[in-house]
């Protein structure tokens, strides 16, 4: 009886506490929403002020930069370039490097605040750049970019990845919100010794590529070093194959407009090819349980003949020992679209006190001088002078490949950008496909379901 | 109706009469208990109740975390019920109850019996420390280490299996083995905690009970069933509750070892909350998932705590 009473009283007390908590929040339902709205409005208002570009404002000789150049050569290059910028302009730049996950979590709010960074690395795509544009947090760099000749250097197709309309809804068109000093291109790294040993050359057509894989397999080699425990590497493998079946127009529509279907003959054919490669043992044994880092480390240690991944890994590989080629197409000389793009772009906060200086900083970090330094460890988005890569044959090949892709306007896409949920859907379906748990037809149908659902919502 | 009230009042009066009339008793200043509670309540309210209530409230909105939220009623909950991945995540949390709670508690009980046999085990202190070590390590470190150990390339487990002629298996990458592989790591971590609780509990059981039982001819099983088990009721309830809550809110192990893969076969509710809040920027959906998780934890904890109160 006494116990019962105790317990009942305790429960009543708990409900009371909870009700009190609810009441606390109830005090500011209007308040909370208004705050959100006004934050957006202020940021919007500041966009106008920012575009007027008044460098004489208070704080115009100081910049705060949040970038992703956290480690090693990247950090050194960013520091070197920043101090050169400080000297030239007689200003103070405070870099606050953060890893990408931290940035993704903190930037959306910071870009709407008065004490947010003036320049920041803003991840591409709807969930990040799009959301911040929608909240009025980013400065439109279109006119500045035209003055700087960015559209001539990089072309509309590449810069479209950093463009949104003002509402942040329509991706790939409208205003330009940033450019990146680094480029990414996905292709085939190969071990020169293994190729020499079997008398192989980089293939000129997709058929030659498949023959090459068969030759390596028959010779007892692991044709492709692959590890898919982290799930995303398969996006690049599938993407490379899929891109040879489609054109850039389809890919642009798929990523930016959402008005095409994923359930196509071409996409199913690509799935069929990928599954066949897995069944024929072209990939590292037990790849489903091997992480990406273990996988490239295996390749760097000389295991496996090929590694299909992005140029970001180049700094980890022996530049003399490893070569690079792009995924070949149906016929020699007909380059199919290649997955790639710019690195995480630098963007300017709409409400910055130093709009002109901030824009100049972005221009400087992506200049030709910057490209020379970036080329030490990372494929630069702008072609560096030839002597900058003279002592690094692998980087030389990557720069050549990037130039070719831009010149032939054959830049494709990371397929997971299609919708916010497509990464999860695609990685899950690819794991099923590679484990023979789904068929190519069911694969494209399932992905189309997700794509259609997400495009509507 | 009125009878119990009278009874209560009588008892209260009797209670007060029994108290020694000490000067400065708190009863002379009825506001004092509330004043003393004010600070803890303010802290608890600010850091627990307010965020909790805010989460519940957000679960009725559609919000991207940036622009103005819009009220959508129960839509987030309806979406969750229809979302196969979320339902699968809940199921996986259910499976983790076996690995976090059932296995470790059973294992710890068995070990407790073994380790408390007088003179049966030499170097008891070493065992006690050794068995507790997994509990002390940060979960992220545990996850990274076990990911290495499970690796089909030079991973310790596959190397050992290789010695007896079993081919390397990608335990974390196989659809069938990934969930138990992650679960077993959780068991490895959790049983140390239960063991320490049980060892302490056993020491508070009167040894003479065992002696008396021996005289009456009770065997090992009978002593365990009628003396040790009832004597450990409290520690068992605590170990079960704590490990159950751990099973329901697990995030770190899954995030580090599999990120919910392969093909979402190891995803859990906490991981789905993370996905919605920080990857998809569906804060309302994340809040709804979190609310479901809180309710599940409260209900299950309540059920387990019932055992403690039973006579």
Counting one residue from chain A and one from chain B, the pairs whose CB atoms sit within 8 A come to 129
Q: Which residue has the higher pLDDT, B15 or A68?
A: A68
3-state SS, residue B22: coil
Interface of B with A in 266-285 (CB under 8 A): 275, 278-281
Tell me the backbone φ, ψ of residue A95, rounded to 5 degrees: -90, 135
Q: Give the minimum alpha-carbon distance from B257 to chain A in angstroms, rounded to a whole number.
A: 9
Where are chain B's structural domains? Answer: 83-309
pLDDT of A115 over the 80 cut = yes
Predicted confidence at residue A26, as pLDDT, reads 43
For the segment A175-180, the average pLDDT, to the nearest whole number, is 97
Inter-axis angle of helices A440-456 and A422-434, nearest 10? 170
Measured between CB atoms, does B128 come within 8 Å of chain A? no
Cβ(B197)–Cβ(B238) below 8 Å: yes
Interface of A with B in 196-235 (CB under 8 A): 228-231
Best residue in B3, B263, B265, B305 to probe A by mutation, most A CBs within 10 Å?
B263
From chain A, the residues in CB contact with B174 under 8 A are 288-289, 435
pLDDT digits (tens, 9 = 90+) for A364-382: 999 999 999 999 878 999 9
Measured between CB atoms, does B65 come within 8 Å of chain A? yes
Is B174 within 8 Å of A288 when comparing Cβ atoms? Answer: yes
Predicted confidence at residue A47, as pLDDT, reads 38
Q: Give the minimum alpha-carbon distance from B68 to chain A in angstroms, rounded to a whole number.
A: 6
pLDDT digits (tens, 9 = 90+) for B39-90: 999 999 999 999 999 999 999 999 887 778 899 999 999 999 999 999 999 9
Least confident of A10-19, A305-314, B275-284: A10-19
Q: Which residues pair with A93 in a beta bridge?
A: A63
Measured between CB atoms, does A386 come within 8 Å of chain B? no
Residue in B closest to A290 by C-alpha = B151
Q: How confident is the model at residue B33 (pLDDT cuts 50, 70, 90)?
A: confident
d(CA B28, CA A133): 62
Measured between CB atoms, does A57 come within 8 Å of chain B? no
Q: Give the minimum alpha-carbon distance from A368 to chain B in angstroms, rounded to a whole number.
A: 34
How many residues are given for chain A?
457
Least confident of A141-155, A250-264, A285-299, B206-220: B206-220
Q: Residue with structure tokens 């071990």? A: A191
Is A135 within 8 Å of B264 when comparing Cβ atoms? Answer: no
The model's pTM is 0.81
Predicted confidence at residue B198, as pLDDT, reads 92
Tell me the backbone φ, ψ of residue A47, rounded to 5 degrees: -55, -45
pLDDT of B185 over the 50 cut = yes
From chain A, the residues in CB contact with B262 under 8 A are 231, 288, 428, 431, 435
Where are chain A's structural domains? Answer: 56-178+344-380, 184-342+400-456
d(CA A127, CA B64): 9
Mean pLDDT of chain A: 87
From chain B, the residues in CB contact with A432 under 8 A are 263
Least confident of A70-74, A225-229, A363-367, B13-17: B13-17
Is B172 within 8 Å of A289 when comparing Cβ atoms? Answer: yes
For the segment A248-262, the average pLDDT, to the nearest whole number, is 94
Q: Of the CATH numbers 1.25.40.10, 3.10.330.10, 3.30.460.80, 3.40.190.10, which one belongs to the domain with range A56-178+344-380?
A: 3.40.190.10
pLDDT digits (tens, 9 = 90+) for A329-349: 999 889 999 999 999 999 999
Query: Could you tell me which of A170, A141, A208 has the C-alpha nearest to residue A366?
Result: A141
For the segment A108-132, the average pLDDT, to the nearest whole number, is 91
Take residue B225 and report the two structure tokens written for it: 């069933």
Measured between CB atoms, which of A18, A131, A435 is closest to B49?
Answer: A18
For the segment A243-272, the average pLDDT, to the nearest whole number, is 95
Q: Which residue has the higher pLDDT, A261 or A25?
A: A261
For the segment A13-39, the average pLDDT, to the nearest whole number, is 42
Tell me the backbone φ, ψ of residue A204, rounded to 5 degrees: -100, -20
Question: Checking DSSP bridges between strand A183-191 and strand A306-310, what pairing results, if any?
Answer: antiparallel
Measured between CB atoms, does B71 come within 8 Å of chain A? no
Predicted confidence at residue B199, as pLDDT, reads 87
Is B170 within 8 Å of A288 when comparing Cβ atoms? Answer: yes
Q: Give the minimum alpha-carbon distance from B170 to chain A in angstroms, rounded to a whole number.
A: 4
Measured between CB atoms, which of B49, B65, B152 is closest to A289?
Answer: B152
ipTM for the whole complex:
0.78
Q: Give the minimum alpha-carbon distance from B67 to chain A in angstroms, rounded to a whole number.
A: 6
Q: Which residue has the higher pLDDT, A12 or A441?
A: A441
Q: Of the CATH numbers 3.40.50.720, 3.20.20.70, 1.10.3720.10, 1.10.150.250, which one belongs to the domain with range B83-309?
A: 1.10.3720.10
Measured between CB atoms, does B9 come within 8 Å of chain A? no
Q: Give the minimum alpha-carbon distance from A204 to chain B in angstroms, rounded to a whole number.
A: 33
d(CA B27, CA B31): 9
Measured between CB atoms, does B72 come within 8 Å of chain A? no
Going by CATH, does the domain composed of A184-342+400-456 fall within 2.60.40.650?
no
Best residue in B42, B66, B89, B174 to probe A by mutation, most A CBs within 10 Å?
B66
Measured between CB atoms, does A110 come within 8 Å of chain B? no
Query: Could you tell me which of A321, A423, A386, A342 has the C-alpha nearest to residue A145?
Result: A342
Three-state SS sequence of chain A: CHHHHHHHHHHHHHHHHHHHHHHHHHCCHHHHHHHHHHHHHHHHHHHHHHHHCCCCCCCCCEEEEECCCCCHHHHHHHHHHHHHHHHHHCCEEEECCCCHHHHHHHHHHHCCCCCCCCEEECCCCHHHHHHHHHCCCECCCHHHHHHHCHHHHHHHHHHHHHEECCCCCCECCCEECCECCEEEEEEEEEEHHHHHHCCCCCCCCHHHHHHHHHHHHHCCCCCECCCCCCCCHHHHHHHHHHHCCCCHHHHHHHHHHCCCCCCCHHHHHHHHHHHHHHHCCCECCCHHHCCHHHHHHHHHCCCCCEEEEEHHHHHHCCCCCEEEECCCCCCCCCCCCECEEECCCEEEECCCCCHHHHHHHHHHHCCHHHHHHHCCCCCECCCCCHHHHCCCHHHHHHHHHHHHHHHCCCECCCHHHCCCCHHHHHHHHHHHHHCCCCCHHHHHHHHHHHHHHHHHC
Q: How confident is the model at residue A42 (pLDDT cuts 50, 70, 90)?
A: very low
For the segment A261-286, the average pLDDT, to the nearest whole number, is 97
Q: Give the minimum alpha-carbon distance from B231 to chain A in angstroms, rounded to a whole number.
A: 21
pLDDT digits (tens, 9 = 90+) for A55-84: 344 457 899 999 999 888 889 999 999 999
Measured between CB atoms, does A44 come within 8 Å of chain B? no
């Amino acid at each position: 009886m006494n116990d019962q009473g105790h317990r009942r009283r305790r429960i009543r007390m708990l409900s009371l506490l909870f009700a009190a908590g609810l009441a606390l929040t109830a005090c500011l339902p209007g308040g909370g929403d208004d705050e959100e709205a006004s934050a957006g409005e202020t940021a919007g208002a500041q966009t106008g002020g920012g575009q007027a570009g008044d460098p004489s404002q208070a704080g115009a000789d100081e910049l705060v930069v949040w970038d992703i150049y956290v480690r090693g050569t990247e950090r050194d290059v960013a520091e070197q370039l920043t101090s050169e910028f400080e000297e030239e302009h007689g200003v103070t730049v405070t870099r606050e490097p953060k890893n990408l996950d931290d940035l993704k979590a903190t930037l959306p709010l910071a870009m709407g605040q008065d004490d947010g960074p003036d320049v920041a690395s803003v991840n591409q795509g709807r969930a990040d750049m799009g959301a911040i544009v929608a909240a009025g947090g980013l400065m439109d760099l279109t006119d500045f970019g035209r003055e700087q000749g960015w559209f001539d250097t990089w072309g509309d197709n590449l810069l479209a990845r950093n463009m949104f309309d003002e509402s942040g809804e329509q991706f790939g068109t409208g205003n330009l919100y940033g450019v990146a000093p680094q480029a990414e291109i996905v292709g085939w790294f190969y071990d020169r010794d293994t190729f020499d040993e079997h008398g192989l050359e980089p293939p000129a057509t997709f058929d030659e590529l498949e023959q090459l894989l068969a030759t390596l397999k028959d010779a007892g080699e692991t044709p492709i070093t692959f590890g898919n425990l982290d799930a995303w590497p398969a996006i690049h493998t599938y993407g490379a194959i899929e891109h040879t079946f489609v054109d850039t127009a389809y890919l642009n529509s798929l990523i930016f407009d959402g008005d095409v279907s994923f359930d196509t003959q071409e996409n199913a054919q690509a799935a069929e090819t990928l599954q066949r490669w897995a069944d024929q043992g072209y990939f590292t044994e037990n790849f489903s349980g091997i992480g990406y880092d273990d996988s490239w480390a295996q390749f760097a240690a000389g295991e496996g003949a090929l590694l299909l991944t992005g140029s970001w890994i180049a700094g980890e590989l022996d530049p003399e020992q490893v070569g690079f080629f792009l995924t070949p197409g149906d016929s020699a000389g007909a380059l199919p679209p290649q997955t790639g793009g710019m690195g995480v772009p630098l963007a300017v906060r709409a409400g910055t006190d130093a709009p002109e200086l901030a824009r100049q900083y972005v221009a400087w970090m992506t200049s030709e001088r910057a490209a020379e330094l970036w080329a030490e460890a990372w494929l630069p988005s702008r072609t560096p002078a030839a002597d900058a890569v003279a002592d690094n044959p692998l980087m030389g090949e990557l720069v050549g490949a990037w130039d070719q892709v831009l010149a032939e306007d054959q830049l494709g896409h990371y397929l997971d950008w299609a919708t916010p949920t497509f990464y999860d859907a695609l990685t899950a379906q690819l794991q099923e496909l590679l484990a023979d748990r789904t068929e190519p037809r069911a694969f494209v149908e399932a992905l189309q379901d997700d794509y259609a659902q997400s495009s509507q919502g | 109706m009125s009878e119990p009230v009278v009874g209560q009042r009588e008892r209260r009066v009797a209670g007060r009469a029994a108290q020694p009339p000490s000067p400065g008793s708190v009863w002379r200043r009825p506001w004092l208990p509330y004043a003393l509670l004010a600070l803890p309540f303010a802290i608890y309210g600010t850091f627990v109740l307010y965020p909790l209530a805010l989460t519940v409230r957000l679960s009725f909105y559609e919000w991207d975390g940036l622009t103005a939220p819009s009220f959508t009623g129960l839509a987030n909950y309806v979406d969750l019920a229809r979302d196969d991945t979320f339902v699968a995540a809940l199921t996986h949390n259910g499976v983790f109850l076996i690995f976090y709670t059932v296995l470790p508690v059973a294992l710890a009980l068995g070990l407790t019996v073994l380790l408390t046999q007088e003179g049966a085990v030499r170097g008891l202190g070493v065992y006690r420390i050794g068995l507790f070590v997994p509990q002390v390590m940060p979960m992220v470190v545990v996850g990274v280490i076990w990911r290495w150990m499970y690796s089909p390339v030079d991973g310790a487990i596959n190397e050992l299996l290789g010695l007896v002629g079993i081919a390397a298996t990608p335990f974390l990458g196989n659809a069938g083995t990934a969930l138990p592989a992650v679960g077993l790591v959780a068991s490895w971590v959790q049983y140390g905690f239960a063991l320490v609780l049980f060892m302490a509990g056993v020491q508070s059981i009167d040894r003479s009970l065992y002696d008396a039982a021996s005289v009456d001819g009770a065997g090992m099983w009978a002593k365990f069933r009628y003396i040790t088990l009832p004597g450990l009721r409290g520690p068992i309830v605590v170990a079960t509750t704590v490990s159950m809550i751990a099973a329901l809110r697990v995030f770190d192990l899954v995030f580090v070892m599999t990120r919910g893969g392969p093909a979402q076969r190891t995803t859990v509710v906490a991981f789905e909350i993370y996905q919605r809040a920080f990857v998809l920027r569906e804060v309302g959906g994340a809040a709804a998932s979190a609310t479901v998780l809180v309710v599940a934890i409260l209900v299950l904890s309540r059920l387990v705590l019932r055992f403690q109160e039973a006579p």
